[in-house]
Amino acid sequence: MSSDPRILVVAPDDDLIGSLCQGLDALGWRTVTARTLAGAIQVLIDWPLETVIIDARIPDAADGVGALRQAVTPRRLPVLAIGADAVDWAPGIADIAMSIAPHAAQAALRLENLVRSAIAEEEVSVREATFAARGEPLTPPHLDATPLRVLAAGKPDLHFLALSNALTDRGCEVVAAPTPYTAFDYLHERPFDAAVLWGAEDHAPALSIASGMKRNTRLYHIPAVLYLRGAGEINLSELYNRGFADVAAADTPEVETAERIATLARAHRRHVAIRKALESARGSGLTDPTTGLFTPELFASHLARVAEGARLRRRPLSVAVLRVGGSETLTEAREGGWLDRALPQIGAMVSRLIRTEDTAARLSPDVFALALPATRGEAARIAAERIAAVIGCTAFDAGPERAPFVVEFDVGVAEISPGESPASVLTRASDALKQATAA
């Protein structure tokens, strides 16, 4: 249910995190609060919560994070720690540490990224088991061990230079780009793990770079951080809606801001490694040779493991089925063989449009299926229809002297019920597809 709480807040009182909780509740990230670590563990046992925000002032907070995570094993539990002491915790105790409570929009964005990364990590272990059982071990995630690469874009300034030095002290390789033009030259020439953009007197250059990154599929996932001269200069909700992963004011200690940027960079690098590991399945002999998607047999085997993992981790699971429609134009394309020529490209588009943790299969020449872990039915429908809409914007060759054709999909979705078998939920999704066609 969408009204269920998603975040556990562990805090002795509301002084530090209370206003943040109100903001998150307003954004749809409902919170539930525990005043002690013992109470927090009981809440995690009672509720399948997605993430934790912990007030570092609570007694034994740093040691308690491990106990909280142990309580939900094998589910991964991202943790955001807030408080002056949190920034001095050893690396790895919390996924994010901040000295003061962030803007609610910023927290929601960061928590969403952490949750999706945790689910992707879970999917790696499930997919490794699927391929190992079939004698084709999956390539494990290989994390790049070179220094983190950070692009620093903007005119030189004392605060900006101090931040660059703080990043360098953390072992980051910082590349300075004084203008948006040089920034994009660097972004296209070499890989980066994060980009920090200086707001200076005019935010326009930074906003231009961020917008350009979000319009480029290769640069889209690189976290962009806006570094402002001071607090309250611009509407923060608007900035996060523009795609910034973080916003920091110059009056925030450079050491803390640098650590936040480095944390984002490490998370991005890990995300890239996970995606490469999951995509390595396409090179095996078990996937569909023309699209790289899972075959029906492989998908059935994997779906069984995903369903069992969802039960153990108390996460939802949905299945979507997409079938090429039967319009007159598509019928003509089928008869001429042009649709068959386009289907490998369509399958490749499906594989690129799914999230890292999702699994796509080709059930028949023109029917595709998606397994969407940690996803409710309505959200799965939105994801499937988004994929269909993007592919529907592409024109495919229909032969000499014929107008190109576009592909439309019928979509069916089902969310697995308690005790339901994987085969049953796939059947229900297919039945929903038939109902959609009849309608």
- In tens, the pLDDT along 49-96 reads 999 999 999 999 999 999 999 999 999 999 999 999 998 898 889 998
Question: Is the pLDDT confidence value at 333 over 80?
Answer: no
Alpha-carbon 4 to chain mean position: 21
Rounded mean pLDDT, 126-141: 86
Lowest-pLDDT range of 213-222, 277-286, 306-315, 378-387: 277-286
pLDDT in tens, 338-386: 888 888 888 888 888 888 889 999 998 889 999 999 999 999 999 999 9
Rounded mean pLDDT, 103-121: 86
Q: What is the pLDDT of residue 236?
A: 61
Tokens 């990364």 found at = 117
| Dist CA 148 CA 193 (whole Å) | 6
Q: What is the pLDDT of residue 2?
A: 47
Q: What is the pLDDT of residue 217?
A: 62
Rounded mean pLDDT, 325-337: 78
pTM of the model: 0.78
- CA Rg value for the chain: 23
Q: What is the pLDDT of residue 241?
A: 64
Rounded mean pLDDT, 25-53: 95
pLDDT in tens, 360-373: 999 988 899 999 99
Question: Is the pLDDT confidence value at 130 over 80?
Answer: yes
Find residue 405's DSSP bridge partners.
396
Question: Is the pLDDT confidence value at 334 over 90?
Answer: no
Q: What is the pLDDT of residue 137?
A: 83
Question: Is the pLDDT confidence value at 22 over 90?
Answer: yes
> Bigger pLDDT: 33 or 289?
33
Q: Give the rounded percent of residues in the chain with a pLDDT score beyond 90.
A: 47
Q: What is the pLDDT of residue 328?
A: 77
Q: What is the pLDDT of residue 438?
A: 55
Lowest-pLDDT range of 197-211, 253-267, 293-307: 197-211
pLDDT in tens, 203-217: 778 878 888 887 776
Q: Report, in this order, helix, strand and coil percent for the chain, each rounded to 5.
A: 45, 15, 35
Token output for 29 = 């990230």
Rounded mean pLDDT, 389-409: 85
Confidence of residue 200 (pLDDT cuts 50, 70, 90): low
Lowest-pLDDT range of 35-39, 227-231, 277-281, 377-381: 227-231
User: What does pLDDT average to over the chain?
Assistant: 87
**Helix (H) / strand (E) containing 19:** helix 18-26
In contact, 245 and 117? CB cutoff 8 Å: no
Closest of 140, 149, 119, 184 to residue 268, by C-alpha: 149
| Highest averaged pLDDT of the listed ranges 171-185, 308-322, 399-413 | 308-322
Token output for 189 = 């020439």
Angstrom CA distances, 294 to 119, 174, 368, stand at 19, 40, 10
| Dist CA 269 CA 261 (whole Å) | 12
Q: What is the pLDDT of residue 1?
A: 39
Confidence of residue 201 (pLDDT cuts 50, 70, 90): low
